[in-house]
Structure 1
Amino acid sequence: MIIQRYMDLPKFVSLVQTRSLYLAKMSAFEDALEGGLTVDDFFKTSNAPAHIDLAINDIWPRAAETADERASRLESSKSAQSEVTERQFQTPFGSYPRDDAERLFPACREWIYVSCWHQSEHECAAMWRLYGRDKNSVCIFSTDEQLKAAMALDSSCDSLEIEQVKYICHINDSFSGSPLDPFISKSKPYAFERETRVVAWNSGLDLSTSPKNEKSGLLLEVNLGKIIQKVVVSPHADPWFKNIVKKLCEDARLSLEVEDSVIRMEPVSDIYRAMSYNQSRKPDA
């Protein structure tokens, strides 16, 4: 699966010079629905609905109920309350009491780190506009297999997955049941992004003692020679920018193709340009 990442020059310099990929914590994302629950999954995760049900149906007095009947019913209610309290919900960091779901589930977004990639064999004009906002920006091409093989986990993270993002309606849809599902799902209006997501986390973290994360993200060491198939320069870049990108790659001892964007291609308007393009065609074209 061919994937791409669009980035401005400072981010590309950071990638090349540190030989590390930056993953941001999910709580830093602008979309408040990312890493959140659907309506159905809230009912499956939180104990609030069960407590409301017990309060309404088991605790309030009933008409024409004797004292003995009420005492017996309240005793049964205690047993049901105990069973509800023991229920657990699942996260990538293990199981926690459902009574704590509304406090602890949002903490997952603090400790799950993400790098977002676009899935496509070709450049995307919309991605250039959104994520290559600086005219002097680049797009790097890779594959999901190459990316996973080239990344090195460290003491800060022991788990890593590369998953295609699912686009859902948080009102009508439900997750499949995997604890990772909420963190590889986005609202349907973002479906045009065709996102593939690198997700990393430390499965041994205790959310109950670490609800907040002071870091904005983390750097994971990568083998750049394995990750980057080629670098494409923005169609809006200054004429000198391509040489700067080539020099950065050479200084980092990276043998990479640095190409102009196909969006920058001049129209085939005469025989000379047609012959020029014909010479550059790939054998299988």
Structure 2
Amino acid sequence: MDIEMGNISVGVDRDLIVKRYMSLDKFESLLTSGKLYFPRFDRFVDQLEGGITGQNYPDISVSLEIFDLAINYRASDPASPEKEQAEKRINEINNETFEGLFGSEKKLNGDTYLKTINSWLYANCWTDLNHECEAMWSLYGITGAGCNHDEYCPRCERTHGTSVCIETTVGSILDNLEFDERYNFSIQKVEYIDHKTTKFGTNELSTKPFYSKAKHFSYENEIRLILWPDRNNISFDYAFGKSTVNDEKKVELKIKNMSLFINKIILSPVPLKTSIEIRKSHNKNYQSALGLQESLSNKKLKAKIESICSAHSVNVQIVDSDLNQVITTDCYTYAEGIR
């Protein structure tokens, strides 16, 4: 159920558990700065982010109507009997509007709006998957996430096994963020769509596109926090260079209490190569998988996280990744698995 609180809109349950995967560097930066980072929409790798679908283009722009007018009416000819009709149509086109993020906008400026609206929004993304996701560890748990490096990029390879997933609730986020009155805030669940066939209702065009994402990313189960300026002097103009320009590349919201903001820290699974080596060595030394679960614990990373948390007076539960599970092969692994 949506709850409206001034310029704060909450469209998900407060008790909903959410997770955010991040590299060790980003985790340390989070604790050091004490702020939650919101990058601008137009800096996202996915170029469909925040865009409308082709089905909705005529709801926002009059470009097609202008083309039709130019082709079918000889308005420039003073002797043309269609001149009066064309002038009436031009007046209608000039006054057509749609509801945008900042209120009513002229469709005449629709193309500019579509090209630049993403520069006015900022987002921070979480997932509500109730289990760990190996793909999320790989995509967001390494320093080079989104860098388009080669598959075995040494820079990214060095960060494997050194990331974390912070787990919390929507309520903990809301209660511990220090909101900036200059910005509106909204938190909603992302809907995954086909941009070729989906059509938003005209009453959804102001915000729904920013909570929609290509269905190719549906594995993320994203919960999205969005900020945008709370002001009415932002203009989008079809004339080149006359639109309002946003120079703010990011927004950061202060976190009041980090120990309450984060409910749990999950350590990344040990890298595959390391896991294979540990399993081989353990089986050779003990001729059994008894105790293997403990051997696969990411102890080195845990010590680093404990040190970082201690330095910032953060006291939260730290647990190993569930991806370190050991398959049941005998009575010993069976007994460990049901504990």
Aligned equivalents of 1:7 and 1:207: distance in 2? 36
Q: Pick from 165, 172, 175 the counterpart of residue 200 of structure 2.
A: 175
Q: 1:256 to 1:165 in 2, by over 3 A?
A: same
Q: Which residue is 2:188 aligned to? A: 163
Highest RCO, 1 vs 2 (Cα 8 Å, sep ≥ 6): 1
1:144 aligns with one of 170, 173, 178 = 170
CA separation of 1:210 and 1:23: change in aligned 2, threshold 3 A: farther
1:272 positional shift? 4.7
1:94/1:122 CA distance change after superposition, 3 Å: same
What is the alpha-carbon root mean square deviation over aligned residues? 2.3
Contact 1:107 / 1:211 at 8 angstroms: preserved in 2? no
CA contact (8 A) 1:4 1:117 kept: yes
Structure 1 distance, partners of 2:27, 2:164, is 8
- The answer to whether structure 1 residue 234 and structure 2 residue 262 are counterparts is no
Distance 1:52 1:23 in 2: 39
Query: 1:120: Cα distance to partner?
Result: 1.0
Amino acid at match of 1:260: D
CA deviation string 1:61-117 (max 9, x = no partner): 9xxxxx6xx43x321321221121112232222222211111133222111001111
Q: Which amino acid aligns with 1:16?
A: L
Q: How far off its partner does 1:27 sit?
A: 0.4
TM-score of the aligned structures, taking structure 2 as reference length: 0.73
Q: Does 1:51 align with 2:66?
A: yes
Given that residues 182 and 230 in structure 2 are in contact (C-alpha distance below 8 angstroms), is that contact kept between their aligned partners in structure 1?
no
The aligned counterpart of 1:206 is: 234
Deviation readout 1:129-175 (Å, 9 max, x if unpaired): 11112320000112223323322221542x11111111111121112
User: Which residue of structure 2 aligns with residue 264 of structure 1?
Assistant: 324
1:195 to 215, 222, 225: 222
1:267–1:45 distance in 2 versus 1, CA, 3 Å: same
Give the counterpart of 2:250 among 203, 209, 217: 217
Q: CA 1:34 to 1:211, structure 2 compared with 1: closer, same or farther past 3 Å?
A: farther
1:191 alignment partner, SS class: helix
Counterpart-to-counterpart distance in 2, 1:231 and 1:13: 13
Task: Give the C-alpha shift of residue 254 in structure 1.
Answer: 2.1
Quote the Cα distance in structure 1 between the aligned partners of 2:215 and 2:136. Answer: 17
Q: Could you tell me which residue of structure 2 aligns to residue 88 of structure 1?
A: 97
Contact 1:33–1:186 (CA under 8 A) maintained in structure 2: yes
C-alpha contact (below 8 Å) 2:264/2:318 kept by paired residues: yes
Matches within 5 A, 1:18-57: 18-57=33-72
Residue 37 of structure 1, CA deviation:
1.7
Contact 1:46 1:99 in 2 (8 A): yes
SS in 2 for 1:84: helix
Give me the whole-angstrom Cα distance separating, in 2, the residues matched to 1:278 and 1:242: 24
Q: Which residue of 2 aligns with 1:282?
A: none
Once residues 139 and 207 of structure 1 are traced to their aligned partners in structure 2, the CA distance between those partners, rounded to angstroms, is 39
AA aligned to 2:247 is E
Q: Does structure 1 conserve the Cα–Cα contact (< 8 Å) formed by 2:165 and 2:267?
A: yes
Give the C-alpha shift of residue 276 in structure 1.
4.6
Q: Describe the shift of the 1:100–1:17 C-alpha distance in structure 2 as closer, same or farther (beyond 3 A).
A: same
**Alignment gaps of 5+ in structure 2:** 1-15, 143-158, 237-241, 272-297
Structure 2 CA distance for partners of 1:210 and 1:43, relative to 1, 3 Å: closer
TM superposition shift of 1:121: 1.2
Cα offsets for 1:190-217 (capped at 9, x unmatched): 1111111111111315144664433432
- Give unmatched runs, 5+ long, in structure 1: 62-66, 280-285
Q: Percent identity of the aligned residues? A: 29
1:115 is aligned to 124
What is the one-letter code of the residue matched to 2:265? V
Aligned residue pairs: how many? 271
Aligned residues of 1:4 and 1:118 also touching (Cα < 8 A): yes
Contact 1:140–1:231 (CA under 8 A) maintained in structure 2: yes
Higher mean C-alpha displacement, 107-116 vs 48-57: 48-57
Distance across 2 between alignment mates of 1:92 and 1:145: 26
Partner of 2:312: 252
